[in-house]
Structure formats: structure tokens, C-alpha cells
Amino acid sequence: MTGPDVLAVQRREDEAFARVEDLLGVMLGIGVAISTALLAAGLGLWMLAGPTRAALLLLRIGLLALMATPLVRVLVSFAEYLRFRDWFFAAMTAGVLLVLVASVLIALSH
Amino acid sequence: MAMGVLAGLLGALLGLGGGVFLVPFLVVVQGLPFRQAAGISLMTVIATSSAVSARSAGKQLINLRLGMLLEVGTTIGGLFGGLTAQALSQRALTALFAIVTALIALVMLLRLDKRNVIPDGSDPGRLGGRLHDPETGREVVYRVKRLPLALLVSFAAGNVSGLLGLGGGILKVPALVSWCGVPMRAAAATSALMIGVTAVATAPIYYAHGDIVPPLAAAAVLGVLAGSRVGLRLAARLHVRRLKVLMIVVLGLVSALMFARLG
């Protein structure tokens, strides 16, 4: 596994993945920005007008957007590993996705 | 929200998510049931993880490969922890929290004067990484050792995260640094990335059980995000040893407070 070919492939992948890491960082930042905006709006409405349906809806969507943020990060990583044909890490990220899906399904079945 | 700010500030100051302070605040001061405090704390863990990782991405700090691999352990641990938490009593969860914080304080006390030696190597292997060290201005190469152990610790950290609403970085970071050859800054950045996805493996279960009260969670998330920004800035100015001593004292207090609730 440490032959020169493997290392060369890995280094190329590292370089390509440095760009992916930037992309993942930007996506995480956008997820946080969207969810904090929704949560701030919902909380503001809640404090001004009381527990209205609109306030609760904003808060709920904000919380769900927050939970979705790391999930999207794993999803994009999985797609990138597939694109790089790095089957081992594609399988690992798929495993993480499976656990997350299991958690959501258990939650939904409650 | 003020508590969120304080927890975030303390958390960032001490290199933790705010959870270890937020959970006891919510339980003792706000009088929330333990599971609600843990559920709200998990949302703040997701927020800080995403915000911190968004800032550190692209700086050669996060070891993506190692993170993705260990996340298998943390998410499975988190899922089990979340399910177990629903079956345990308030009292059992409070006791567990008191014990875990006391243990962490003890470990920190024992390691107070240990410095992290950055190993010197040229071949990082499949999982290792390169890291720019600002102190020497050179690129540091490291190799990951004892991977099965790292996976086991990740599972345990995920479990603690799911049970108690913490991030779990407090378990992973020392283990990665002392046993697995990962430099401190890389371990912290990689752990910060992992805790978000770990919390997502658990948060839906808390949410479905109604343990994440939306307005309280929103206030805590906004507070922790604001507090952690201030905390990070302050932390850069303070002496590391003083920070560690402060952390041990605060953890000891938190643990005693939770033990007192059992009596």
C-alpha cells in the first residue's frame, strides 16, 4: 500500500482534495449562516409576538437546516471520493451516511 | 441566551464545545430535565462544529481522511448513546455526567505539564497528513499510529456525546495526541469537524422525542456562536497553563454540582 504509485496517486488526490476542502468549508459556512438567520428571525418573532405558528415554523426549519449542514458535508465528500475512485473512503463515508439515515428513520418512526 | 454566550465563551476559551458547561447550566439554573438540556446542547455542538470547521477549512489543519474514517466510530457510538439516553433515568444520566466530568478533570490534572511532541517523519502513510507549523514556519509531516485504538476511542466519544449531549472532543483530542501521533492543532481541528456529524447521528432522536425545545435551542445556538467568537479571541492572549488550570477548576465545580443534585 506504500508503493510509489499509491503515494503519487495519493498526493494528486491530496491536491485535488484541498479544493474540495475549501468547498466543504464554504458549504458549512453557508449552512450556519442560513440556520442562524432562520433561528434569529424565529426567536425575534417569538419574543415580539409570542409563540405564533410562523415563529415556530421558522425555528423548526432553522433547527433542521442546522442538522442538515454536516449531513450535506458528508454527502458531498462521498460524491467526491466516488469521483476520485477512492473506494475505501467512499465506503467509509457511505457508512457514516447509513448511520445518519438510520438515526433519521428511527426518529421518524417514533 | 446569556447562558449560551457564557458557555460558548468558556468553551472556546478552553478549547471545548460549550456543552460541558451548557448542560449543567440548563439543568441546575434553568431547571430543565436532563434530556432537554442534552438535546439543546447537541444543537449547539452542531453549530460550533460547522462554524469552526468553515473557518479552519483549507488551512491544512483538518485531516479529512482521518476524520471521515473516525466518524464511522463516532456516529455509531452517537446513535447507540442517543438510544440508550432515552432508556436511562434522569438520575442515571446526571450521575454519568458527574463521573465523566470528574474523570476528565483528573486526566487533565495528570497531564498538566506534558508537552505534545510532534513526531518527525517523512512518509505520512495513507492516513497521515502535513501541517504548517506557525512556530517554526516549517511543514510538519505526521503519521497516524494505533488506528484501531483511535476508532475505539471515537466510538466511546460518540457514545458519551449521544448520552450526555457533549461534543466528545475532550476524549478524542487527548487520545489522538498522546497515543496516535497526531499533532495537537490537527487533532483539535479534525475533532471539531467530527463532533458536528456525531451530534447529527443523535439529534434527530432527541428532536423526535420533543427534547429539543425550539426557542430555547435557538437562543442557546445563537449565544454559543457569539460567545465562542469572543472566547477564541481571548484564548489567544492567555497562557496555556492558566487555561488548563481554569478548565480543571471549572470541570471540578461542574462535577460537584451534578453530584450534589443526586444527594
Query: How many distinct structural domains can be found in chain B?
Result: 1
Residue B59 dihedral angles phi and psi, to the nearest 5°: -105, 20
CA B178 to chain centre: 17
Chain B interface includes A65 (CB < 8 A)? no
The answer to whether the Cβ–Cβ distance between A40 and B222 falls below 8 Å is yes
Q: For residue B211, give the chain A residue with the closest CA.
A: A107
Contact list in A for residue B82 (CB cut-off 8 A) is 103
Q: CB-hemisphere CA count at 13 Å for B69?
A: 20
Q: Which set of grid coordinates corresponds to residue B97? A: 455526567
- Residues in chain A, pLDDT under 50: 1
- Report the residue of chain B nearest A26, measured CA to CA: B54
Q: Could you give the angle at the alpha carbon of B175 between the alpha carbons of B188 and A19, nearest 5°?
A: 35
B221 contacts on A by Cβ (under 8 Å)? 35-36, 39, 66
Q: pLDDT category, B13, cuts 50, 70, 90?
A: low
Q: Give the number of other Cβ atoms within 10 Å of residue B60's Cβ.
A: 19
**Hey, are the CB atoms on B55 and A25 less than 8 Å from each other?**
yes
pLDDT the model gives residue B172? 86
Q: What's the pLDDT tens digit per position in B146-200?
A: 889 999 999 999 999 999 998 888 788 888 888 888 887 788 889 889 999 999 9
Question: Chain B contact for A45, CB < 8 A?
Answer: no
Q: Does position B55 have pLDDT exceeding 60, yes or no?
A: yes
Of residues B260 and B1, which shows the higher confidence score? Answer: B260
Nearest CB to B200; choose among A1, A26, A100 = A100
Query: What pLDDT score does B59 carry?
Result: 77
Domain that holds residue B163: 2-262
pLDDT at B119 over 60: no
Shortest Cα distance, chain B CAs vs residue A83, angstroms: 15
Q: What pLDDT score was predicted for residue B141?
A: 79
Q: Which residues of B touch A22 (CB under 8 A)?
A: 57-58
Find the mean pLDDT for residues B241-248.
78
Cβ-Cβ contacts under 8 Å, A18 against chain B: 58, 60
Question: What are the angstrom distances between the C-alpha of B15 and each of B18, B168, B233?
Answer: 9, 12, 12
Q: How far is CA B114 from CA B22, B26, B108, B131, in A?
A: 28, 33, 10, 21
Q: pLDDT class for B233, splitting at 50, 70, 90?
A: confident
From chain B, the residues in CB contact with A99 under 8 A are 72, 75-76, 78-79, 201
Stretch (H or E) spanning B142: strand B138-142
Task: Write the DSSP assignment of B138-198 as a string of letters.
Answer: EEEEE----HHHHHHHHHHHHHHHHHHS---HHHHHHHHHHHS---HHHHHHHHHHHHHHH
Confidence class for position B3, pLDDT limits 50, 70, 90:
low
Task: Say what the pLDDT of residue A95 is.
Answer: 96
pLDDT value, residue A1: 47
Q: What is the pLDDT of residue B69?
A: 93
Calculate mean pLDDT across residues B240-257. Answer: 83
In this predicted complex, what is the ipTM?
A: 0.88
Domain residue spans of chain A? 3-109
Residues A29, B72: C-beta atoms closer than 8 Å: no
Query: Which has more confidence, A42 or B113?
Result: A42
